Amino acid sequence: MHTTTVRFPRAFGPARKSFIRRNLPYLLIAPSVVMLLALIAYPLLFALRSSFYFWNLQIGPEPLQFVGFENYVQALNAFDFRAALTNTLILSILGTTLEFTFGLAIALILLKALPGMNIVRALLILPTTIAPIVVGFLFRYLYDPGGGLLSWLLQSLWLPVPAEGILGSPSTALAAILFVDIWQWTPFFAIVLYASLLAVPDEILEAARLDRASAWTILMRIKLPLIKRTAIIIVMLRFMQIFNTFDTVLVLTRGGPGTSTRTLGYSLYEQGLVNFNIGLVSAMTWITVLIVNVIVALYVFFAFRNEEW
Amino acid sequence: MSRRHTSFNTALTYAAGLLFLAIFVGPILWFIALAIRPAETAFTMPPQLAFEPNLDAFRHILVDPGTNAPQLVNSLIVAIGAVLLNLPFSVPAAYALSRFKLRGKKNIMLWYLGLLMAPPVAFLIPYFILITRIGLQGSYFSMILVLQTLTIPFSVWLMKSFIDEVPVELEEAARVDGARWYTIMLRITLPIVRPGIIVTSMFAFVFAWNNAAFPLVLSSRSTATLPIGTLGYFATSGVTWNYIAAAAVLAMIPPMIIFLVFDRYVVRGLTFGSVKG
């Protein structure tokens, strides 16, 4: 009918939709994307350009000389940088693994729904809420060789504590930093894994128990596969967070003694904000960004391959 | 299973619970005690549990006008500012990602995720130089602005998970009645997800509040936030432990309260919505 076309003009296919209506979702996303691009493009391009120059703010305000890939060569050959890369990988891999394992163990205990355990669960999250820099101070106090609670506890238990203090000895400093990370983030894994395990349907577990499956089999074959997506995401997040750590190291050890607790994040801080070696730190930035991207890309490729969004 | 065995298990579970509290909450309490104990007892071992608490350190941090900038106020301005700037960017994006079929949606989501993995410390020098060139050094706005690299991606993910839960039928009903998309978004969807907006804001607040990297280079003496304050007491002399602790305790309290109050949303927030907590 003639009147129908007049009354419902918009019902006639996408061709008649306005530009705004057609591109609505993209227009809604655009501001955030533009904002984020503006915020990250500058640092990345700035670092890319300056990585090819000899440029030290302590010597002069402007880049002094084009040096090609010299900064990259210098960074990769520096003993400091390679030590930092090793330490960072040790921290990230051990930290993520141990935090996941301990967190899972705690989550399984929390699942035994006893009166009062809710309070334990709620309070357990507290370490995760604290700023890393504050956690750094907290443990500096606990590790203090001249009367820190942890040092004292270890000595009282007849455990060997290095004379230079836990943070002062190359043999214990990295482990001490790892312990701080584990203290702060194990509760995070515990709470997240606890919550996702709660969502595992009871019928499945009942069926498995009727089949006389052991607790271990139920965990490995039923519970863990069902919370896989959650596990994938939190493991990735934590890995990258530890990989970029610098504030706890800054407060606890400043990378020392020697290079024993130097991390990539701390090296970037030191070369950039202490030595103002802009050219070198820019090369280090790009090396770090490339490493991070390769790790994340591989991980995402394998972990999210079969995921729906 | 015998009854005795079960009660043994119960006892064991409670023992484990207490052990967890001792390990994960004990150090925090011990640190809070540092802020209110007489300075000379801070390192006496065996630990002194009985002491006369005093609030001198807090008084010094909060009201001593000679040396201290109002770091508590600065932290509030930066964190609240970061939330306010964040919402107009992230809420529409989250709405679009939740409600429309998009080509490349997965890639867009992963792109946001990837930004959360960038090493903030690597960006400090370029930001410092950029902010200095445009004359914003030491301003609150410079910190609020660069914090968006963290808060926008996080908020988009978290908000999307909340909007996903609003039944599409409500919007369709309004559409049948002739409402336009913006009316639907502003009048129907957003009011329903108000709790989600609040939770997202609280988490963005905590992220901004706890961040030390950006204020480290972008703040001035008068705009320094609490984490920078703790660093300040540390750098000037290593012995002012009760001042460090007082500033640190002030910095600890708001995120703790937020996480405890929003307990049921904590998991979702910490995994930015990828887990329906």
The Cα of A108 is separated from the nearest Cα of chain B by a number of Å equal to 10
- pLDDT (mean) for B71-81: 93
Residues of B in contact with A268 (CB under 8 A): 119, 121-122, 124
Residue A65 β-bridge partners: A54
> CB of A294 within 8 Å of any CB in chain B?
no
Q: Does A234 touch chain B (CB under 8 A)?
A: yes
* Record: contact B17-A117, CB cut-off 8 A: yes
CA distance A165 to A175: 13
Question: Looking at the predicted structure, is the pLDDT value of residue B275 above 80?
Answer: no
* Among candidates A126, A196, A289 on the partner chain, residue whose Cβ is nearest the Cβ of B275: A196
Q: What is the pLDDT of residue B69?
A: 65
* Residue A261 CB neighbour total at 10 angstroms: 26
Q: Cα–Cα distance between B238 and A37 in angstroms, integer?
A: 41
Omega of the bond leading into B38 within 30 degrees of 0 (cis): no
* Cβ contact B17–A251 (<8 Å): no
Euclidean distance between CA atoms A244 and B213, whole angstroms: 11
Query: Which comes out higher in pLDDT, residue B58 or B142?
Result: B142
CA B186/CA A220 separation, integer angstroms: 46
**Which contacts (CB < 8 Å, 24+ apart) does range B127-134 have?**
B127/A42, B127/A43, B127/B214, B127/B217, B127/B218, B128/B217, B128/B218, B129/A46, B130/A42, B130/A43, B130/A46, B131/B218
Express as a percent the part of chain B with pLDDT over 70: 93
Residue of A nearest to B34 (CA): A141
SS3 A65: strand
ipTM: 0.89
Alpha helical stretches, state H, A130-227: 132-143, 149-156, 173-198, 202-210, 215-217, 224-226
Better pLDDT: B124 or A126: A126
A128 touches B: beta carbon within 8 Å: yes
Nearest to A43 among B10, B123, B271 (CB): B123
- Do residues A151 and A144 make contact, with C-beta atoms less than 8 angstroms apart? yes
> Do strands A53-54 and A65-66 pair parallel, antiparallel, or not at all (unpaired)?
antiparallel
A114 vs B contacts (CB less than 8 Å): 10, 13-14
Beta strands in chain A (DSSP E): 53-54, 65-66
Phi, psi dihedral angles at B145 (to 5 degrees): -65, -50
**pLDDT bucket at B67, cuts 50 / 70 / 90:** low
Per-residue model confidence (pLDDT) at position A2: 44
- The encoded tokens of residue B109 equal 């989501």
Which spans in B116-225 are helix H? 120-133, 140-163, 168-176, 181-183, 190-192, 194-210, 213-218
**pLDDT the model gives residue A86:** 92
Which has the closest alpha carbon to B110: A240, A296, A31? Answer: A296
The letter for the amino acid at A212 is R
Query: Which backbone phi and psi does B126 adopt, to 5 degrees?
Result: -55, -45
The per-residue pLDDT for A5 is 42
A192 closest CB neighbour out of B89, B210, B270: B270
Question: Residues 157..186 of A with a Cβ closer than 8 Å to B: which?
Answer: 183, 186
Q: How many residues does chain A have?
A: 309
A43 and B126 in contact by Cβ < 8 A?
A: yes
Rounded to two decimals, the pTM is 0.88
Asked if B143 and B78 count as a contact pair (C-beta separation under 8 A), the reply is yes
Question: Which residues of chain A, if any, have pLDDT below 50?
Answer: 1-13
Nearest CA in chain B to A61: B129
Amino acid occupying residue A60:
G
The CA dihedral of A190, A104, A228, B117, to the nearest 10 degrees, is 50
pLDDT tens-digit readout, B13-58: 899 999 999 999 999 999 999 988 887 777 877 777 777 788 888 8
Return the pLDDT at B276. 59
- Mean pLDDT is highest, among A200-209, A237-246, B140-149, B258-267, for B140-149
- What is the rounded distance in angstroms from the CA atom of residue A244 to the CA atom of residue A264? 7
